[in-house]
Structure 1
Amino acid sequence: MADRVLDKAGPGRQRRLPAFLDHFTPRDLKIFFRCWVAVWVASLLIFINPVASNFGQATFFACMVLFMLPPSGVLFVYILGSLSLFVGICLAWAWGVIALKAALAARPDADTQARLAALQQAAAAEAQETGESVSSIAQRLVYNGWMLDARVTSILFCMMCLFIYFMARLRAANPKTALTSIFGIIIADLFLCYGPVLPSFNGNLPLSLVKPAAAGVGLGVACSILFFPRSSSDIIREGMEDLLELLKSSLQFSHSSLGKSEDPDLKDLQNRRTKIIEQYRLLEPSFAFLPLDFHIGSWGPEAVGTFREPVRHLVAAILALADFHKGTAESRMYAQQLRESSIKDSESDLDEKKERKVGVHHRSQLAELVNQLQYTERHSINESIANQLTDLSGKAMETCLEGLSVISECVQFVGRQRWYHKAPPARHEELFQQTKTVLQDLQQTRTAFLAEMTQALLDAYGPALDNFNQGENNRAAHLAGIILCMNFQEHMSNAMDKTEVLLDRISSVFPHASRTRFFVPTSLKYAGRWLLGRKNKAPNMAPTSENLDDPNEAPEGDATQAAQEKLRVRRGYRPRARHPLGRAILGIYHWLTSDEGMFALRMVVVTIAVAISAVLPNTAGFFYRERGFWALIMAQTGLLVYMADFTFSVLARVIGTIAGGVLGLVAWYIGSGHGPGNPYGLSAAMAVLLVIFLWIRLYSPPVFLQGAIMSAATFLLVVAYSYVDTHTPAYGQPGVGYQVFWRRLLLVLIGIGAATIVQMLPRPPSAARHICNSLSRSLRTLSDHYALLLSCWGRAGDEGKTISEPIWLELTESLVLLEGPIFNLRFEFSSSRFDSASLGQVKQICHAINGLLSRLLVASASLPQSYKDRLASHMGMLDHRCIGEIMAVLGVAEQSLRTGDAPPEILPTPLVRRALEYSHAHHMDRPVLSAEMIRDEDYRRYCVALAAYVSFLGQIDGLVLVIKGVLGEAHLVSRELVDLV
């Protein structure tokens, strides 16, 4: 009957557009319009002759920069992104000038003058024969490699490849430096490909790209100021609106489940949870940018900053309620699967010829335990109080939903306050009074909910509790239902309390919403920390595979590391240090052979492999005429750290190139027909077709980002090169229309081919191995959390409550980042036995363990010492043998994920069974439950802690089964011995 109270019969869903297309809100359309204006104006520069003459053939690069860095966020963040772009350009420019100077100095002046004299003679002789100008012939001979010298080439290649190596490492190590690395490498490629062929030093080589890039950034800044400017406060306010809607949706999902008996859609539950976490991840970085904020509005950075803690607490509370709801459904379904599996295994044991399944002993013990506990629907909650609990819970959820709605209304009201438009004072006063009323309702409803639900449990189970200890059947029939209801009662009460706290905070600053003021930055220190720090994210920073935690580094968050360090200091513990020489050698080795090091080495190899044809006498002219420079860029940007991402990227790039080329041909032939290209017609065609590419760039999932940029780049190249060829023809231009398209497609395929060969050698960088290592480190972090729990449980204080939410959120966010790479594993050919499905199961178990340990840490601070001692002695929580068994199983699981070795057949599992055996062996005479205990608020928290601890052990048991199902079992023993365990 618990399932009737706490599970879901899915409500009818409203049909909506796909997430990719569902961006027609006023806010999204304003952002899109701002970006579209910037991109379209940048594309117009291609057709303005004075600008095109000054910028050169790469005028379209301004538009490409805006696709890579669209002005879709806060002005100051956009400026920081632009600065990171120009840092890469300036570093590459400065290093390129130094390298070119050094390389040209290696060739004696006499040799240089001799080669120049021979060039003049050859050009004059050919001019007499063909009638062409001497300058054009000399230019062609230069680009054909007339001035090439092995000494100049070797020095320039060595110095520029060293720069490219460090830029590639920078990109792999810190995702915020992606623009710095990419543009630095592009500028370095200019010196690498064209520096050796030039007759003399030319330090202005990058100007052909720097001017358009600066124009694009300038347009982005101008549009960020002129068209619907946004501040960090606006992003937080809008993010809170979206987050509150998701929290309301999650709560409504639980509300609709009351009184239903159908199985819930676990995938829907997980998707809702993931959306809430992702939205919170987008919201959290904006709080750090508040000191940098220029803002016109009612709430300043200081007022908005006070929402940070209440919002985090509210997210944690409602997610805990959703996780509890999900856990009850999973437990019932898992118990049913164990029973069915036990029946099949018992039948297969009768047939000796049938193969024995992996983990059959573990599953049989779990099935036996489930049967002993009699976990069935009819034993969960008494039918007589099901409807009463449904009504009480429904009223509490409705009040909580009303509180969230009022908070959302207040935030929206403040968002509509502008210096040119203000709401009537009467509406402000009405909404303010509504916050006070709902706040009072929340307080009264929460108090009534706790009292009435406790009384309902007493009325239903009071007579049975008097004889609770008179038989095992009586114990199993009532204990599960009572504890389940008290758990739900505590989670619902906590959700209402956190809603009340946030509403109270909103109410305290809402009186200031009647005035509009201008706020200026109060501190610029964070800007530098953001640029240098790897973990500091920017608002709306999209998750990619590049900002995953390095599995070779500790993935614990700052809170976990601080707590562990405090324990080490308190105990005076320090590990034995290696010899400095050995530590230095190992550090250098790991630095060179890490994922970042191998990625940078591959970048250098593919650079040399493709760029070498630009500096060979027989191929230099071909490289210049066919625009091999773009093939080099395709090969470099095509390389990725892990193979699964690379495979998906190849597909996205090819499809994006073809789609962009086709639309580029459509734009060219619509705007010019068979003529030389009408700038007005082309401008109109660009205005329409750029909408498609910009929509894909802004609103497609992050995994499609490279394909979106590639399609836009091909579209721009087809139109721009065709227009340049018909208006300002020059040596080496690719042609018009279709000729540009097929040459571009060929260059992309060459670059992808080169990148594929280098990516595969000497061994493909497996994303499955990386994810296994990341999950292994996550398990190690969970072991640290478990150790922190044990340390906090044994002494008084609120340290556990203080660190519970930070460490829970830190690990939750890192696990959410793995969802995209785990999805991409289906595109990888890997030798790892873990696939996308199994790693997804491990990730979900890590999520569950993380949440359960967080609840226990909170309980370590909120429970009286007597109840903590009761739980510890009842379940063996602080028993050294039990702790050792749990740590051993977690350690074996961690090692199996890292190495791929099968775990032993016999382990101290199931841990749930061992804990219950400990309880029966030590405390059979102690009453587990009484009517007086139900009235005790501390006992309700005790029930939450008890259920969390048992679920924690159960999740570890499930983790062992998942790993054994993938890797099998090692160190097998005879069947007779197994049956004795």
Structure 2
Amino acid sequence: MLLQPSASAIEPSRSTDATAANGGACTASHEGQALNRNEAAQDDTSGAYLKVGKEEADASVPKVRGSNSKLPEWITKNVKDPHSWKMLARCWLASWVTLILMLPTRSLQTFGQAAFFASMITFMIPSNMPVSIWLIANATLVIGCLLGWAWGAAAMAAGLFSRDSVLLASQLRTAQASVAAETNPEAAFKLRIFQGDFLDIRASAVIGAFFVVGAYALGIMMAKVPKLQLSCIFALIVMDIMCSYGPLFPFAQYTLATIFMLPIGASLGVAFGCMLFVFPESLNYSWTRNLVSMLELQRALLAMHSAFISDPATHNTPALEEFDRKLKGTSNGLIGLSDALSGEVAFLELDVSRGRFSGKDLRKLLLGFRTLNVRLFGMAAFPHLLQNFADGGYVEQNVMGDQGAPQEEPGAGDAAAGKEGNESWKDLKHPVQIHDSTLVLRARQRIQEAEAEQHVKLSTLQPLMAKAAGPTLEACGEALGAITAFIDRTNRSRWRLRKRDDALEAQTLQRIQDAAANLARVHQAFVDEERLALFRPYEHHFKVERDGSLHLDEQSAIEFRTGGRPLFLCLVWVVSLSRFSKQLVKVSDEIHELASKRQSNRLWLPSSLRSVWKVLTSKKATAGGPFKFFANTGLSQEDTAAGDGDDDDDEDLQHSTASSTVALEKDAERDASGKKDIKASKADGKGTRRRRQRHRRRAVRRDPDAMPPTNALHYLGRSITGIYNVMTSTDGIFALRVAVVTLALWVPQVVPSSAAFYYHQRGVWALIMAQLGLTVFTGAQVFASIARIAGTIVGGLIGTAMWYISAGSGSGNVYAYAVVGGVAFVPLVFLRLYVPPAMLVPALMVGVTALLVFGYSWIDTHLFVTANSGVGIEVFWRRTLLVVIGIAGSFAVLLIGRPASSRGLVRQSVAGVTQDILDIYSTIIEAYIKIDSQVDSAAEKPAQIIDEQYLVDHLRPLLLDTFARLAELNTHVGLASVDVAPRGHWPKERYVEAVKAQARMLEALSHLAGAAFGISTPSEWQRHFLRSSALLDPSIIADISMHLSLISRALATGTPLPHTSAGNLLDRTISVQIEARKREKVLGQDSVVSSLSLHALHEPAFMDIVTGIVALGQFVRSCDQLAAITAALVGEVPLEGYDALLSRVEDQMWNISQRS
């Protein structure tokens, strides 16, 4: 065995302290869109979803030295950015022009009493998107309005048909007689309509039935298809108007919806004009601009790693925690940007643009950059391993270990984990401890002794590693800089007319080629020569043989393998840097090849509509671009736990590039071989897709209570069961709440005694607020409600001030009104565009309420309306009261069904991520099994055994999507913290620890997958690693799979874990490796390690083996940590005497291993 007896890297630490997770502000499910139901999908140039990544990254990067600004970073950053000013100018102009449209008397009379809604729409859906995306987004808005209008018109027609003709005739005669003597009979007749004089219980019942059914259907759609929430919101708003006022009319009034439709049409027209003529930009341009931002973030992350390696002062525990916090923020930012770009990539081929690269070209490039992200995340394993190194008592100043804290007896167990309620609130401040067994404790002691005998400290190796890696890190930075400069240059010179621009682009392209060549040369020197400096402190342990080679005898080899952990940790980082460098060279070559084929700008027209509907209907959190509403507002707990079954974006891209004759992936081969290669490419693409489909089919859940349907009755029964399951799920209960609150707040409008009051007080706004204030999960609703009320109060005060400044005590004039509105809109629109996601809901409410108060005040003084709302402060308090009533109504219906807790969502999400980790682990093990099955025959075939590109293409989306889910979990944890907690304190700290453990597991799996590529070429190290480690031991594979499956199921259902499953994976791994070492010696297959030579250690394959061993150790240790955390959350099923039995067996095993 390579790292005998416990693989010093396999046992990285005794405990993993829980660094405070970046829960951040509660942004999860409620970054409000239009009336605060969903996320505003159009923020920054590509949507609010991009801001999450950028601002998390900004928060993690240290402030520029010398900056004394007291303002938040998001303000100073956007104030200094010219592009931000362009977007602000465009959006401000759209809002201001729509405000001015309601000032002339004729246009005000045309728009009616909701004229201010035009300006409000431009505020809720700002014009800061590319034209094609804006058209698609607003097309969904218009479709939603038309859907609500059509349903409302159908309800009104059915209501009129059901009216009692005798009663209607009597009501009309009475009304005509009463208004005959009025000076304005028409106005008096209209007043009687809104006083409820023509109400008919039959018509009201029919319209109410339509209304409830429509609200329920839209509620289901909002929950099940979150990316269509924009359509659902406006469908609800228009339907509210039609069904609330429809029962009041004694005749057909199908144009009621024009109250909102006319302002919406005007706002869309103005916004579209501004997008076309005020700093217009295509999706291709904005997407590429954000790609440049992602590359800059990659450079920042690389620079952070470079600074960390070069500064030994950052390697103590407090500095490690601070670096981990910054690293986490920047990594989450990179994940956010990567997911945002992936979400928009489906729309690139719908865009009309002029530029060098098409949408398909950019889709292809994104795959390489996403792989770079995975490599960068893998580099974070080194500081985390250093944290474990310190946490486990292995700091250099205390080599003998656990002298600072007494070691508990193995098997003592955590009483709090087995009994409900024993863990006090104060105990949550301390991380969950893994109580190690006798075998682990003795292995740790043996490792400490061996490390002391080696006389090589980690602090000795780190300067050597920093010096060796310096040129490679610098070359990586230059290559990334060259790529960034080239992409930015091509993006900025889309309309170039001068030869000088062509020359500059050629220079930047040549810079990429030069930087790639330099990186390839420096990296090769690093792998071949520079990294060998890490072995020099160990050279005095080697003996010179007769042939001049340096060898370790058997005992010295054992001591080296056991005590060489400082070297092994450094080699993990070396491998990470090497993989990143190779991928960067590959990406550089791809860009150069692509640029050589695309040598000039041209006009690119739309080429595909295939992916749009799939993106819009996908629940996948990383898909959808500007339609990426926070899908968790609609995810059921079952969906969250099970994971997303949608195809990933990478798969779609690979299929399209492999099967399309215009793809560039195989251009060189096609140029050489013609049509045969095109057919081969298509066949290869289809085969790859079939393999992925087979992999997905294996994971399909089966019904344990019924076999597959065989006749029509079975299919009908399944359909009915499916409908019932939807209706009783959390999504169905949410839709039921929408329907109930709709009915409850609609009834006063159709009761004769309250109809007039309801209309005059604008009760329909309370109805709208109640409908759109509902969320699936209670924590999100608590946060959103607080944000709404706070935003309403602040916005109302601002709107009141705007009115009195422009009008004083009079009715105002158009010039003052326009000037005040224009000035006030600047900060309001800036706030709307660039506020951090955590503040988006209150920011949206501030702007909406200010516009409502300001607009209503003008309408009240310049347009005759049946119900006056007053001006200034009167509008403010009425609006605030309506918001409070609507929120109260939304909270009242939470009692229907069992409230879906945000805390339950967090638990289900952790369970779902655990299942994802199991899927990734299974995929990696499949690759290793394939290598192992051919390891003997591979000597005759030196080619690689596994399809590396297929494994990369399959694992990259799995890893990145799971990293993204973990980043999103931080948001859910923040939301769950404000959830209602009637049963007791929520153990937030435990979920933070669980997320951290899962992140470590993903890092380990990333390295384990990378090691598969390194050992896929036959070698002695390959055989040794596969046959003498625990990686491919069937019992360990079964244990890990069962372990993760049990954890996932326990978290999903709240079932206690068996006591035997908590904290024992590391023990079993060590035991298996002891047995594997004995078997290797008996079979005589340990030649490569029984007498280690320095030449053998210098082989690059040795680094991959070490990385695999370290990754396996980190993975199983993190599994144990996650199991201990889960046991603390859900409890354990006790098994008396098990710990003592385990201790005796491990004592025997240890004694045997020492004698052998």
SS at match of 1:518: strand
* Alpha-carbon distance in 2 for matches of 1:607, 1:382: 66
Inter-CA distance 384–810: structure 2 relative to 1 (3 Å threshold): closer
Q: Which amino acid is the alignment partner of residue 72 of structure 2?
A: P
Inter-CA distance 472–339: structure 2 relative to 1 (3 Å threshold): farther
* Alpha-carbon distance in 1 for matches of 2:1075, 2:276: 72
Please name the residue that 2:117 is paired with: 61
Inter-CA distance 383–596: structure 2 relative to 1 (3 Å threshold): closer
Matched, 1:555 2:643: yes
Matched, 1:685 2:770: no
Give, in angstroms, the shift of residue 324 of structure 1: 3.5
1:598-613 correspondence runs (5 A): 598-613=733-748
Inter-CA distance 968–344: structure 2 relative to 1 (3 Å threshold): farther
SS at match of 1:20: helix
* Alpha-carbon distance in 2 for matches of 1:573, 1:678: 67
* Alpha-carbon distance in 2 for matches of 1:703, 1:217: 27
Q: Which amino acid is the alignment partner of residue 736 of structure 1?
A: V
After TM superposition, the score normalised by the length of structure 2 is 0.78
Give, in angstroms, the shift of residue 240 of structure 1: 1.9
- Contact 2:479–2:516 under 8 Å retained in 1: yes
SS at match of 1:58: coil
SS at match of 1:641: coil
SS at match of 1:654: helix
SS at match of 1:296: strand
Inter-CA distance 336–622: structure 2 relative to 1 (3 Å threshold): farther
In structure 2, the gaps of 5 or more residues are 1-7, 13-59, 396-400, 424-431, 543-550, 652-688, 931-944, 1146-1156
Match of 1:839 among 991, 995, 1000: 991
| Worse-matched range after superposition: 192-201 or 340-349 | 340-349
Inter-CA distance 957–379: structure 2 relative to 1 (3 Å threshold): farther
Inter-CA distance 763–252: structure 2 relative to 1 (3 Å threshold): same
Match of 1:453 among 524, 530, 536: 530
Give, in angstroms, the shift of residue 155 of structure 1: 0.9
Give, in angstroms, the shift of residue 960 of structure 1: 1.5
Give, in angstroms, the shift of residue 275 of structure 1: 0.8
Please name the residue that 2:577 is paired with: 492
Match of 2:1052 among 887, 898, 901: 898
After TM superposition, the score normalised by the length of structure 1 is 0.92
* Alpha-carbon distance in 2 for matches of 1:850, 1:32: 40
- Contact 1:379–1:477 under 8 Å retained in 2: no
Inter-CA distance 700–238: structure 2 relative to 1 (3 Å threshold): same
* Alpha-carbon distance in 2 for matches of 1:750, 1:467: 80
SS at match of 1:439: helix
Matched, 1:399 2:475: yes
Please name the residue that 1:887 is paired with: 1041
Matched, 1:962 2:1125: yes
Please name the residue that 1:801 is paired with: 952
| Worse-matched range after superposition: 964-973 or 891-900 | 964-973
Give, in angstroms, the shift of residue 284 of structure 1: 1.7
RCO (CA 8 Å, sep 6+): is it higher in 1 or 2? 2
Deviation track 1:418-461 (CA, whole Å, cap 9, x = no partner) reads: 42665445434433332232122111100011112343244332
| Worse-matched range after superposition: 621-630 or 675-684 | 675-684
Match of 2:605 among 508, 520, 545: 520
Match of 1:370 among 444, 449, 455: 444
- Contact 1:671–1:679 under 8 Å retained in 2: no
Inter-CA distance 340–463: structure 2 relative to 1 (3 Å threshold): closer
1:230-379 correspondence runs (5 A): 230-259=281-310, 260=312, 261-262=315-316, 263-264=319-320, 265=322, 266-335=324-393, 339=402, 343=406, 345=408, 362-363=435-436, 369-374=443-448
Give, in angstroms, the shift of residue 849 of structure 1: 1.9
* Alpha-carbon distance in 2 for matches of 1:726, 1:493: 71
Match of 1:566 among 694, 697, 703: 694
Matched, 1:120 2:206: no
* Alpha-carbon distance in 1 for matches of 2:349, 2:456: 52
Inter-CA distance 761–19: structure 2 relative to 1 (3 Å threshold): farther
Inter-CA distance 745–574: structure 2 relative to 1 (3 Å threshold): closer
Matched, 1:537 2:623: yes
Deviation track 1:179-226 (CA, whole Å, cap 9, x = no partner) reads: 110010111111221111111111111011001011111122111111
Match of 1:74 among 124, 130, 133: 130
Please name the residue that 2:655 is paired with: none
* Alpha-carbon distance in 2 for matches of 1:256, 1:45: 56
- CA-based RMSD of the aligned residues comes to 3.3
Please name the residue that 1:6 is paired with: none
Give, in angstroms, the shift of residue 285 of structure 1: 2.5
Inter-CA distance 385–790: structure 2 relative to 1 (3 Å threshold): closer
* Alpha-carbon distance in 1 for matches of 2:806, 2:701: 74
Q: Which amino acid is the alignment partner of residue 449 of structure 1?
A: F
- Contact 2:434–2:1124 under 8 Å retained in 1: no
- Contact 1:392–1:453 under 8 Å retained in 2: yes
Please name the residue that 1:430 is paired with: 507
Give, in angstroms, the shift of residue 556 of structure 1: 4.4
* Alpha-carbon distance in 2 for matches of 1:769, 1:183: 30
In structure 1, the gaps of 5 or more residues are 4-8
1:212-227 correspondence runs (5 A): 212-227=263-278
- Contact 1:469–1:475 under 8 Å retained in 2: no
* Alpha-carbon distance in 2 for matches of 1:857, 1:575: 33
Inter-CA distance 540–498: structure 2 relative to 1 (3 Å threshold): farther
Please name the residue that 2:187 is paired with: 136
- Contact 2:475–2:519 under 8 Å retained in 1: yes
* Alpha-carbon distance in 1 for matches of 2:624, 2:458: 51
Matched, 1:821 2:982: no
Q: Percent identity among equivalent residues? A: 25
- Contact 2:148–2:235 under 8 Å retained in 1: yes
Give, in angstroms, the shift of residue 519 of structure 1: 2.4
Deviation track 1:803-836 (CA, whole Å, cap 9, x = no partner) reads: 1212112222233222222111111123487543
Please name the residue that 1:192 is paired with: 243
| Worse-matched range after superposition: 925-934 or 373-382 | 373-382
SS at match of 2:247: coil
- Contact 1:374–1:476 under 8 Å retained in 2: no
Inter-CA distance 149–331: structure 2 relative to 1 (3 Å threshold): farther
Give, in angstroms, the shift of residue 57 of structure 1: 0.8
| Worse-matched range after superposition: 73-82 or 702-711 | 702-711
Inter-CA distance 385–179: structure 2 relative to 1 (3 Å threshold): closer
Q: Which amino acid is the alignment partner of residue 525 of structure 1?
A: R
SS at match of 1:446: helix
* Alpha-carbon distance in 1 for matches of 2:1052, 2:980: 19
Inter-CA distance 794–509: structure 2 relative to 1 (3 Å threshold): closer
SS at match of 1:23: helix
Match of 2:101 among 19, 31, 45: 45
Give, in angstroms, the shift of residue 477 of structure 1: 6.1
| Worse-matched range after superposition: 267-276 or 957-966 | 957-966
1:689-704 correspondence runs (5 A): 689-704=824-839
Inter-CA distance 483–905: structure 2 relative to 1 (3 Å threshold): same
* Alpha-carbon distance in 2 for matches of 1:136, 1:430: 74
* Alpha-carbon distance in 2 for matches of 1:814, 1:934: 39
- Contact 1:634–1:751 under 8 Å retained in 2: yes
Matched, 1:751 2:886: yes
SS at match of 2:253: coil
Inter-CA distance 617–682: structure 2 relative to 1 (3 Å threshold): same
Please name the residue that 2:1098 is paired with: 935
1:607-626 correspondence runs (5 A): 607-626=742-761
Inter-CA distance 231–854: structure 2 relative to 1 (3 Å threshold): same
Give, in angstroms, the shift of residue 891 of structure 1: 2.3
* Alpha-carbon distance in 1 for matches of 2:1093, 2:703: 49
* Alpha-carbon distance in 1 for matches of 2:253, 2:139: 25
SS at match of 1:258: helix
- Contact 2:108–2:863 under 8 Å retained in 1: no
Q: Which amino acid is the alignment partner of residue 408 of structure 2?
A: D
Give, in angstroms, the shift of residue 510 of structure 1: 4.4
Give, in angstroms, the shift of residue 651 of structure 1: 0.9
Match of 1:669 among 776, 799, 804: 804
Total equivalences in the alignment: 969
Q: Which amino acid is the alignment partner of residue 1040 of structure 2?
A: I
SS at match of 1:148: coil
